[in-house]
């Protein structure tokens, strides 16, 4: 689809409102960063824009704010969401970028494409940050850049990943521009926690923040992007673990004796103990930040009640979905065994959730935490680990993500991630080796790996906290029970996700729920 315009290239900015409204909505819905894919995108409207660069008769680089007009398919109600949309209008199309629209004129053809991975946009943004620029936008807002640490000039730009709901562009091999596409008012916790760790602690197991850009309008702040250090790495710990599990299961195939498995596991297990120490150091550092919204404190009764209500609602929703879809999910015997055990223990599971109140005086302290910690949020470097993305659960509000929680929320996320990693490694091995016999032996080997990995991680974590006199954890005699509460919260959420999106994996969180019930009862 092409937009025909009478404007010369030098005046094409006058057509920008029409350009934005002419872009097909499906162009945005197909992107990774667009959040509400289940609802209908009715139209797109330009809210504000500026010009970062104009090269006569060649290109425009435009930071734009757009409003997506949405329709809720369930309630049939309309709503709007703000997104940051960096644009390049160029007579030459950059094929690594998302083409949004073509513009036709009798004397030229121009291409409108998303600028997030383009050299032009990232080079201009880089210069804007380095001079700590301020750009007055055309409809009342302005962009403001802050520089923390100088870095090299940009000469190349790449897309780094399609996994994140943010947009990550690697510039050279020294820095990453992380762009927060959905605009949410307030301070992004990713930036807030990162800056606080740099300024007030010695914790450095995360990419160094070099600068950032915010958008302000009507005295409301929106963090747009940050520039952070690129860390040479071997991939995230999830991918690192999957590679190890592949080698491990092949070793199991060739070495049936259990005793030798411990020897094979030892190097990986030692790394997981060290990883636990790193996360312990992170929590100690966060607890020591001298700001009111960071300082550890006892949870209030209102916070405990709100937590219970949220977990209770997820429990009710999961059982509703299980009963509705019981006969439409999977006909595997072991799968149905776990499913029926969960259904049979409905009252017990609700009772376990209610133990939140029984343990309310043993929850430890609430403080700022990572908020969405799992194996994919940690990079494995040659000899260390780096923690990524402090912004919390991206689907929740900024206000929710900036709240204080128990540090065991992070630890529960790691425990559940180890559980999923084991299953994923086993599934991949079976898929690639369909002729194997005695699958039970491989399942036992994975269970051994998971138990050793989880135990060593917790050992490293708890030892680090004890050695530094951290006082925010639950009492030792209640630690496992409280951790199980946070794990069951996570497993319930996973169950809802799996039944709606990946039912063949549903038994993983269901078994996790059953395990947590036993731990809570101990």
Structural domain boundaries, residue 108: 2-113
Q: Is the pLDDT of residue 283 over 70?
A: yes
Is the domain of 279 the same as that of 330? no
What's the pLDDT at 168? 59
Is the domain of 60 the same as that of 107? yes
Determine how many CB atoms are found less than 10 A away from the CB of residue 101.
19
Q: Is the pLDDT of residue 155 over 50?
A: no
Query: What's 143's domain CATH number?
Result: 3.30.200
Is the domain of 346 the same as that of 461? no
Average pLDDT over residues 278-298: 97
Is the domain of 80 the same as that of 184? no
Kindly report, residue by residue over 87-106, the tens digit of the pLDDT. Answer: 999 999 999 999 999 999 99
Which of the listed residues 184, 210, 229 is the one where a domain comes to its end? 229
Kindly report, residue by residue over 28-66, the tens digit of the pLDDT. Answer: 988 988 888 778 999 999 999 999 999 998 999 999 999
Q: How many domains does the chain have?
A: 4
Query: What's 280's domain CATH number?
Result: 3.90.1200.10
- Identify the DSSP state of 207: P
Kindly report, residue by residue over 325-354, the tens digit of the pLDDT. Answer: 887 766 666 778 899 999 999 999 999 999
What does the alpha-carbon distance between residue 375 and residue 240 come to, in Å, rounded to a whole number?
9
What's the pLDDT at 306? 95
Is the domain of 379 the same as that of 468? yes
Is the domain of 215 the same as that of 73? no
The answer to whether residue 153 is domain-embedded is yes
Is the domain of 45 the same as that of 186? no
What's the pLDDT at 170? 52
Question: What's the predicted TM-score (pTM) here?
Answer: 0.88
The answer to whether residue 119 is domain-embedded is no
The answer to whether residue 465 is domain-embedded is yes
132: left (phi over 0), alpha (psi -120 to 50) or beta: left
Is the domain of 330 the same as that of 408? no
Q: Please, which residues bridge with residue 60 across strands?
A: 54, 89
The answer to whether residue 166 is domain-embedded is yes
Is the domain of 131 the same as that of 203? yes
378-380 and 385-387 as β-strands: parallel, antiparallel, unpaired? Answer: antiparallel
Is the domain of 496 the same as that of 395? no
Q: What is 239-287 written as a DSSP string?
A: HHHHHHHHHHHHHHHH---SHHHHHHHHHHHHHHHHHHHHHHHHHHHHH
Which of the listed residues 113, 136, 156 is the one where a domain comes to its end? 113
The answer to whether residue 39 is domain-embedded is yes
The answer to whether residue 118 is domain-embedded is no
The answer to whether residue 120 is domain-embedded is no
Q: Which residues contact 97 (CB under 8 A, 6 or more apart)?
A: 88, 113, 114, 115, 116, 117, 118
175-179 and 59-71 as β-strands: parallel, antiparallel, unpaired? Answer: unpaired
Is the domain of 409 the same as that of 469? yes
Is the domain of 310 the same as that of 411? no
The answer to whether residue 309 is domain-embedded is yes
Which of the listed residues 209, 229, 249 is the one where a domain comes to its end? 229
Q: Which residues contact 26 (CB under 8 A, 6 or more apart)?
A: 41
Average pLDDT over residues 498-522: 91
């Amino acid at each position: 689809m092409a937009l025909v315009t009478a404007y010369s290239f030098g005046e094409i900015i006058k057509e920008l409102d029409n350009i934005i409204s002419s872009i097909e909505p499906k162009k945005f819905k197909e992107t990774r960063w667009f959040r509400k894919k289940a609802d209908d995108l009715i139209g797109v409207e330009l809210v504000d824009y500026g010009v970062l660069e104009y090269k006569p008769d060649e290109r425009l680089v435009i930071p734009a704010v757009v409003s997506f007009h949405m329709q809720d398919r369930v309630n049939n109600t309309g709503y709007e969401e703000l997104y940051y949309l960096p644009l390049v209008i160029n007579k030459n199309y950059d094929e690594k970028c998302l083409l949004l629209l073509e513009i036709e004129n009798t004397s030229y053809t121009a291409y409108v494409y998303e600028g997030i991975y383009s050299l032009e946009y990232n080079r201009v943004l880089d210069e804007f940050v380095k001079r700590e620029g301020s750009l007055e936008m055309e409809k009342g807002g302005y962009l403001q850049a802050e520089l923390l640490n100088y870095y090299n000039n940009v000469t190349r730009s790449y897309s780094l990943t399609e996994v994140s709901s943010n947009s990550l562009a690697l510039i050279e091999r020294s820095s990453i521009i992380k762009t927060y596409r959905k605009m949410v008012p307030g301070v992004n916790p990713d930036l807030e926690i990162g800056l606080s760790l740099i300024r007030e602690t010695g914790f450095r197991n995360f990419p160094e923040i070099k600068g950032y850009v915010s958008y302000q309008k009507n005295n409301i702040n929106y963090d747009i992007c940050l520039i952070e250090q690129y860390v040479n790495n071997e991939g995230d710990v999830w991918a690192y673990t999957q590679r190890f599990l592949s080698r491990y299961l092949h070793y199991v195939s060739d070495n049936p004796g259990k005793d030798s498995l411990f020897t094979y596991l030892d190097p990986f297990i030692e790394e997981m103990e060290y990883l636990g120490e790193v996360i312990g150091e992170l929590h100690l550092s966060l607890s020591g930040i001298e700001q009111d919204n960071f300082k550890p404190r006892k949870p209030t009764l209102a916070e405990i009640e709100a937590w219970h209500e949220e977990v209770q609602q997820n429990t009710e929703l999961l059982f509703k979905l299980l009963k509705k879809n019981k006969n439409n999910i999977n006909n595997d015997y072991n799968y149905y065994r776990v499913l029926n055990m969960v259904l049979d223990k409905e009252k017990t599971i609700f009772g376990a959730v209610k133990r939140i109140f029984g343990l309310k005086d043993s929850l430890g302290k609430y403080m700022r935490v990572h908020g969405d910690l799992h194996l994919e949020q940690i990079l494995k470097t040659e000899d260390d680990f780096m923690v990524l993305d402090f912004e919390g659960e991206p689907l929740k509000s900024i206000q929710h993500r900036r709240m204080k929680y128990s540090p065991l929320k992070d630890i529960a996320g790691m425990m559940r991630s180890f559980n999923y990693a084991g299953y994923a490694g086993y599934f991949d091995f079976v898929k690639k080796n369909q002729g194997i016999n005695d699958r039970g032996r491989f399942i036992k080997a994975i269970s051994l790996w998971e138990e050793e990995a989880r135990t060593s991680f917790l050992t490293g974590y708890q030892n680090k906290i004890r050695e530094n006199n951290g006082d925010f954890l639950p009492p030792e005699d209640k630690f496992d029970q409280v951790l199980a509460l946070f794990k069951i919260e996570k497993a319930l959420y996973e169950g809802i996700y799996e039944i709606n999106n990946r039912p063949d994996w549903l038994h993983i969180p269901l078994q996790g729920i059953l395990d947590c019930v036993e731990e809570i009862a101990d």
